[in-house]
Amino acid sequence: MSRIFINYRRADSEGHVGRIYDHLVQHFHADDIFADIESIKPGQDFLAVIEHAVAGCDVFLAIIGSQWHSMHDEQGRRRLDLWDDPVRLEIAAALKQDKIIIPVLVGKATMPHPETLPDDIRAFVRRQAVELTHQRFAFDVQKLIGAIRDAMPAQPSVKPRTDADTFIRKEAALKALRTRLIDATDSPLYANRVKNRYFPVLGSGNPDANLVFIGESPGKTEAETGVPFCGPSGAVLDEMLATIQLRRDDVFITNLLLDKPPEKREPTPAELMYYAPFVDQLIDIIQPGVLVALGRFAMAYLLRKLDLPEQRGKISDLHGKLIKAKMPYGDIHVVPLYHPAVVLYSATQKDVLMKDFQKLRLFI
Ligand code: URA
């Protein structure tokens, strides 16, 4: 997948882009640097082609030369004002898709004033720019490379296949954890489990998954079967996974509470505290590169556990963000998503959830 997208205006900055590219290929794979969209075939929707190309990148570099802002076409119209200007369309797509955008100033250019830009790219000027000067080009470009590195996912998109021994060891460790959970007679939810002949729900899926999904608490269907997310919310989760060509067996699915609470209600602090060591251990066993929080409770738990600066943020602001974090076993991402149950109550949220799910493609 192309990871670094270079957006530029040929007549404005082609020479600079060549120099930047020469430096980037020393640090990133050439296949990961994407400077020109492949030719658009007759009949293709070029907007869709641009959106698709931008969707594939992690970092979007917008190269701004001294004429970026003012360049006109043969009829005297400013290029940026044309609705089909590719530079504008690409930046608009990157903003719409919430990409990490780094404006790169070359040839003594300065950031344009927001009022002078079309509406769909105005927000672009709020992005922190990196300036590449002629005199200190090599030094400045290192700064750019550092900024790109910070923005790229810390883990490789695809977790390398582990050897059979590791897989078997993880499977056995999860089995032992399940036994501990079955024996958790001091849990605040144990009495309810026994009274209703419910099963505890540790979770299910691939013991070596790169993606671990954490929901809130098992519902009635889950407690009756011991399988997480197998009721209506589970149907939504399956549908979302299918949009990124994943099946349950490719990931691991669990919850913050591993027993069903007596009524349909939010988890209590005591319940959350009781099950946290189980969830922590589960993560330590699987060692995923990505922790996907389904809903605000799982998000709050993970952001606090990892002591991340976003921990006071709301899910309405943080959903779909790829938040970097460190675990003792390596760098990871936390991705907060709305809980699949929101789709059951609000159909409009389905599009939001589906769009956020697409971000997970980077990790599969
Ligand atoms: N909601 C959850 O959070 N978890 C489940 O397992 C089912 C519904």
**CA pseudo-torsion sign 265, 266, 268, 274:** positive
- Identify the burial level of 253 via C-beta atoms within 10 angstroms of its C-beta, where 0-12 means exposed, 13-18 middle and 19 or more buried: buried
Instruction: Give the C-alpha separation, 349 to 41, whole Å.
Output: 34
Low-confidence ranges of the chain (pLDDT < 70): 1-2, 37-40, 56, 153-161
For domain 4-151, give the CATH number.
Answer: 3.40.50.10140
CATH match of 164-363 with 3.10.350.10: no
What integer pLDDT is reported at residue 46 of this predicted model? Answer: 82
Regarding pTM above 0.85, the answer is no
Q: How many angstroms separate the alpha carbon of residue 154 from the centre of ligand 1?
A: 29
Q: Given this model, what pLDDT does residue 157 score?
A: 47
By CB neighbour count within 10 A (0-12 exposed, 13-18 middle, 19+ buried), where does 60 fall?
buried
Identify how many contiguous H helices and E strands the chain contains and give both numbers: 13, 11
CA of 325 to the centre of ligand 1 (A): 25
- What are 25's two structure tokens? 């290929």
pLDDT tens digits, one per residue of 212-235: 999 999 999 999 999 999 999 999
pLDDT in tens, 105-158: 999 999 999 999 999 999 999 999 999 999 999 999 999 998 888 777 655 545
> What is the pLDDT, as a whole number, of residue 164?
87
Q: What region does 197 belong to: left with phi over 0, alpha with psi -120 to 50, or beta?
A: left
Token output for 1: 């997948």
Sign of CA dihedral 315, 317, 322, 328: negative
Q: DSSP string of 327-355? A: ETTEEEEEEEE--THHHHH-THHHHHHHH
What's the CA gap between 238 and 235, in Å, rounded? Answer: 5
Task: Give the type of residue at 193.
Answer: R
Cross-strand bridge partners of residue 292:
213, 335
Q: Are 335 and 359 in contact (CB under 8 A)?
A: yes
Q: How far is the CA of 97 from the centre of ligand 1 (A)?
A: 28
- Cα 294 to ligand 1 centre (Å): 9
Q: Are the CB atoms for 282 and 257 separated by under 8 Å?
A: no
Closest of 281, 289, 339, 321 to residue 305, by C-alpha: 281
8 Å CB contact between 252 and 213 = yes
Full strand arrangement of the beta sheet holding 323-327: 204-205, 252-255, 211-215, 290-294, 330-337, 323-327
User: Whose CA is closest to atom 7 on ligand 1?
Assistant: 229
Q: Using CA atoms, how far apart are residues 288 and 213, in angstroms rounded to an integer? A: 10
Nearest ligand 1 atom, CA 229 = 6
What separation in Å is there between the alpha carbon of 231 and the centre of ligand 1?
Answer: 8
285-312: per-residue pLDDT in tens?
Answer: 999 999 999 999 999 999 999 999 888 8
Q: Which of 199, 216, 275 has most ligand 1 atoms within 8 Å of its beta carbon, as the pocket-test mutant?
A: 216
What pLDDT sits at residue 57?
81
Determine the pLDDT at residue 48.
Answer: 81
CA distance 175 to 178: 5
Distance 73 CA to ligand 1 centre (A): 56
What are the backbone dihedrals phi and psi of residue 49, each rounded to the nearest 5 degrees, phi first? -65, -45
Residue whose CB lies within 8 A of the most ligand 1 atoms, among 217, 271, 272, 297, for a mutation test: 217
One DSSP character per residue, 44-97 reads --HHHHHHHHHHT-SEEEEEE-TTTTT-B-TTS-BGGGSTT-HHHHHHHHHHHT
CB 10 within 8 A of CB 67: no
Residue pair 36/91 in contact (Cβ under 8 Å)? The answer is no
> What is the residue extent of each domain of the chain?
4-151, 164-363
Residue 213 β-bridge partners: 253, 292
pLDDT for residue 159: 65
Residue to probe by mutation, ligand 1, list 214, 229, 248, most atoms within 8 Å of CB: 229
CA of 166 to the centre of ligand 1 (A): 29
How many CB atoms sit inside 10 A of residue 106's CB?
25
Q: Which residues form the pocket of ligand 1, taking CB atoms under 6 Å from any ligand atom?
A: 215-219, 222, 228-229, 231, 233, 255
